[in-house]
Amino acid sequence: MNKKIDFKYHHIKHYKYQAQSKKTLITSILLTLFFALVELFGGIFSGSLALISDSFHMFSDVVALLFSIIAVFYSAKKPNKNFTYGFLRIEIISAFINGLALMIISVGIVIEAVKRLFNPEHVDFFTMFTIAVIGLLVNIILMFVLMKSLKKEKNLNVKSALWHFLGDTLNSVGVIIAAIILKLTNLVIFDIIISVIISVVIFTGGLKIAKEAFFILMEAVPSDLDIDEIHAKILTIDKIKDIHEFHLWNISEENISISFHILLDEYDGVNDYEIVNDVVELLKNEYGIEHVTVQIENPETNPHF
C-alpha cells in the first residue's frame, strides 16, 4: 500500500488566504464595470474619443480584476503532489496577462486617434465633462479602497490595480481639461491629444506590470536584493571557503527562495548542522529570506572539475 505524502512546510507557507484582497477586488470590479459602461455609452453619445479610450482602459481593468480574483482563489489552495510550490504563481501569470492586455489596448487607441486626426468628429461638451467628473470621483474612491487593502495584505494584483486607477484618475483630470479647452476653443484635436496621452499612460502602466511579473516568472533575482552582497556575507561565516550553484529567485511577490552548495576550509570535526543554521539565520535576519536550501559538499567525495 502506498503511503500518502504529507506536504509539510516549516519555513514558509506556499499558499496564502487573502480575505481582504478578495473583498476589495469584488468591490472594485462592480464599481469599475459600472463606470466603464457609463463612459462607453457617454463617449459614443458625445463623440469623445478620450471617453471611449478611457472606457476601454476601464474594461481592461475589469478583466484584470477578474483574473486577480481567480488568482486570489487559487493562491489559497495548498500544495499537492503535482504542484509542490502551490498555486501562488497564478497571481503572477494573471498580472503578466493584464500588463500585456493594457499594452495592446493602448496601441489600438492610438490607431483610432490617428484615424480621427484625419476625420474629426463632433464632441458634446456637457456629456464629456459630466462623465469625466463622475469618473474622477469613482477613481478616487477606488484608490482609497485599494490603498486600505494593501495596508492589510500585500498582493501584486491589488498593487497593479492601484496603479491602474491612479492612471485612470489622471486620465479623468485630462478629459476634464480637454473638455474645457474644447468648449473654449471648439478644437476637437484636444480630445484626440488627450486620448493619445491616456494611451501612453496605459502602455507605461502595462509595461511596468508585465515587466515585474515577467522577472518573477523567469525566476530572476528580486530587484531589491544584491546577489554580490549576499554572496560576500555568506563567505564571512566561519569555515565557509566557497559557494557555487547559487540561485536566488521569487516564487511569488513575497516568497523568496535561495539555494546553493558550500565548500568548507576543513571537514574534520566540523558540525555541518551548525554551519547550515548560521547561514539560515543570516539570510533570515538580514535579508528576510526564509526558504533556504543549503548543501555542504566535500571535494573528496563530491569531485569538482
Type of residue found at 288: G
Q: Is residue 10 a part of any domain in this protein?
A: no
Q: Minimal CA–CA distance to 246: which of 234, 259, 233?
A: 259
Domain edge (last residue) among 218, 252, 283 = 218
36 and 166, same domain (yes or no) = yes
Q: Is residue 2 a part of any domain in this protein?
A: no
pLDDT level of residue 25 (50, 70, 90 thresholds): confident
* Mean pLDDT of the 94-119 span: 80
129 and 236, same domain (yes or no) = no
pLDDT at 1: 47
121 and 232, same domain (yes or no) = no
pLDDT at 176: 83
Return the top range by mean pLDDT from 31-45, 74-88, 167-181, 185-199.
31-45
Q: Minimal CA–CA distance to 51: which of 194, 187, 167?
A: 194
What is residue 262's three-state secondary structure? strand
Q: What is the pLDDT of residues 257-293, one digit of tens each?
A: 899 999 998 888 888 889 999 999 999 999 988 888 8
Over 80: is that where the pLDDT of 235 sits? yes
Q: For position 252, which CATH number holds?
A: 3.30.70.1350
Over 70: is that where the pLDDT of 243 sits? yes
Torsions phi, psi for 49 (to 5 deg): -70, -35
pLDDT at 247: 92
pLDDT at 278: 92
Over 70: is that where the pLDDT of 113 sits? yes
- Note whether 65 and 36 are within 8 A (CB): no
Measured distance CA(64)–CA(170) in Å, rounded: 19
Q: For position 204, which CATH number holds?
A: 1.20.1510.10
60 and 116, same domain (yes or no) = yes
pLDDT at 233: 92
Q: Is residue 170 a part of any domain in this protein?
A: yes
Over 70: is that where the pLDDT of 160 sits? no
More confident site: 281 or 181: 281
185 and 252, same domain (yes or no) = no
- Is the pTM value of this prediction over 0.85? no
pLDDT at 246: 92
47 and 115, same domain (yes or no) = yes
- What's the domain count of the chain? 2
Q: Is residue 13 a part of any domain in this protein?
A: no
Lowest-confidence segment of 121-130, 176-185, 236-245 by average pLDDT:
121-130
204 and 68, same domain (yes or no) = yes
Q: Is residue 16 a part of any domain in this protein?
A: no
Question: Which residue range forms the structural domain that includes residue 70?
Answer: 22-218
Q: Minimal CA–CA distance to 28: which of 165, 133, 128, 151?
A: 165
Domain edge (last residue) among 168, 183, 218 = 218
197 and 249, same domain (yes or no) = no
DSSP the chain: -PPPP----SS--S----HHHHHHHHHHHHHHHHHHHHHHHHHHHHT-HHHHHHHHHHHHHHHHHHHHHHHHHHHTSPP-SS-TTTTTHHHHHHHHHHHHHHHHHHHHHHHHHHHHHHS-----HHHHHHHHHHHHHHHHHHHHHHHHHHHH---HHHHHHHHHHHHHHHHHHHHHHHHHHHHHH--THHHHHHHHHHHHHHHHHHHHHHHHHHHHHTTPPPTT--HHHHHHHHHTSTTEEEEEEEEEEESSSS-EEEEEEEEES--TT--HHHHHHHHHHHHHHHH---EEEEEEE-TTTS---
% of the chain at pLDDT higher than 90:
10
141 and 231, same domain (yes or no) = no
